[in-house]
Chains A and B, each alone.
Chain A
Amino acid sequence: MSDKPQAAISCQNVWQVFGPNADSALAEALSVHSEPEAAAAALREKGLIAAVQDANFEVAEGELFVIMGLSGSGKSTLIRCISHLLHATNGEIRIDDENIVEATPARLIELRRKKLGMVFQHFGLFPHMSVIDNVAYPLRVQGMKRKARLEKAQKVIDLVGLGGREKHYPRELSGGQRQRVGIARSLVTDCSVWFLDEPFSALDPLIRRQLQDEFLQIQAELKTTIVFITHDINEALKLADRIAIMRDGKVVQIGTPSDIILNPVDDYVREFSKDVAKGRHAHVASVMEPGEGHVYGADDPGLRVDMTLDAALARCMDLYEPVPVRAEDGTLLGVVNPADLAAALHVEAG
């Protein structure tokens, strides 16, 4: 296989099977069946559960990669394979070109102390430690002196906006505040790969949006590679560079937010995008055709490539001819047919 050096994370043929003698059962199933579907069926036959089936994808350095699916789709299992909280039954998971499936326990501890950070759905805060002790804990296990680690923890606490609550205990905090602690704790080691397992789904919608915005700011500042799990399509679309959609243990589609919205591979994915206001998430680029050889009308509503469909449609509500899309400097980049714009917004109806 082609090992692209620029990939921060790469997963190849990753399987996670639960049940008695999972290793040998999977090996046997894979030797008999070449198709992952058939192998999974054979495992099911034996009463084993293939929670992740043959996952293949890569995450580029600095990319925000969202894994989305309904509960039970295997997304939490997959992120636990990548962070090696679970030992993948089969496959290769490379982080910065190092296969962590085969890493020794000592190396794993090393990796976690230096490189990996994780945020949990229900926060995973240590109830017996104060906010600052929770945040400083990853430094404490490394043996950092108390003063130094508290200083560093304080910085991260300020970063997530929890300054002044250092001495509080988790039980004294609201849900949103608790997750800020979780985020701070995962950031305290300056990780380069950041795992977030449904970090905001236990929160109120309002708090959720606020934290998402702050999360994007933090990400813009830190530029870490991120694997983000969610079951909320709006969250995925809002945050993701690319989205992987999982269903029953399989990755069914990987693509940019507009790919997912505009070109769903099957009904399952289409079902997700049904309630989404697509105009807010897809951009003009997704319906644009190359400019050369296309005729376009005399009107120029001033469309730009990174405009959302909603915005574009608002500008050409009363136009029927194709319109040009230009760069800031006026060069022609392509042509958009207003009818396509409208059709893209109603894709699920057709």
Chain B
Amino acid sequence: MSELKKIATRLAYGEALREFGADPRIIAMDADLGVSTMSAIFGQAYPERYIDMGIAEANMAGVAAGLATTGKIVLIHSFAMFAPGRMYDQVRNSIVFPRLNVKVVGSHAGVTVGQDGPTHQALEDIALMRALPGMVVLSPCDANETRLALRAMLDYEGPCYMRTGRLAVDQITQDIPGYRFELGKGCTLRDGKDVTIVATGYMVAQALKAADALEQEGVSARVIDIHTIKPLDQELLIAAARETGAIVTAEEHNIIGGLGGAVAELLVENHPVPMERIGVRDTFGRSGDPASLVEYYKLTPADIAQAAKKAISRK
């Protein structure tokens, strides 16, 4: 694992948005949380194209849609609980249905939000956005990948959702030989033959640690980073099921409707193999420090390793 300092994906996002922000078509909006979502970093550099919409997320989504009809690339920001959580209908009917070029960026996703507790820990956002026809759903795992995901999202013409996290996380991808980012393509971060751990976002680092632990026990685990949950890299995942014969998904999201659901839907129709899902097990979050919540909800490398062994035993 890299010795680089930990960086939250929300911070990497804000810095990347400033980096790519010179394009005059870009408009960034926030609902009074710019210093938390880090969209304010863009706002400091480009105040004339940064709009605070106040605490009114539904209106922000609609105004973004209107702006996008004139050819602008509009990025709207809040906590994932509110963007897209609070504005689901607006995202569906005013943005995704007319295929407008609006990017919804939800920070503070998952239980690693920590002390703010369940009302602010989005665990259903991927499920909501994944169900929308034509929506692109991104969930990058570290600073480098977040930057590349933002670049790809800006280059793609159409609606997208990206979730970022509050917690500072390990930098992983810049050290992986052969790593390259392509929208809709998963990345094999580590090869293995006994089981494949398919992870997204915060859980990618946990999956790599689990693979290290499994190696100590003589289990060879492949690790695939799925930064684009929709469209899903079907080819890579079916090949992993075929070649390793067991799958574990890992996400900081409800096990219903998110990455685990997407992979299960794909494999059950194409190449069913024993599969286990690591994630929040159909419950709400709770207040606490992030590290203890990761243990409480069984999202640790040890939990992933255990699930991997269980999947292998079911072969």
B partners with A: no
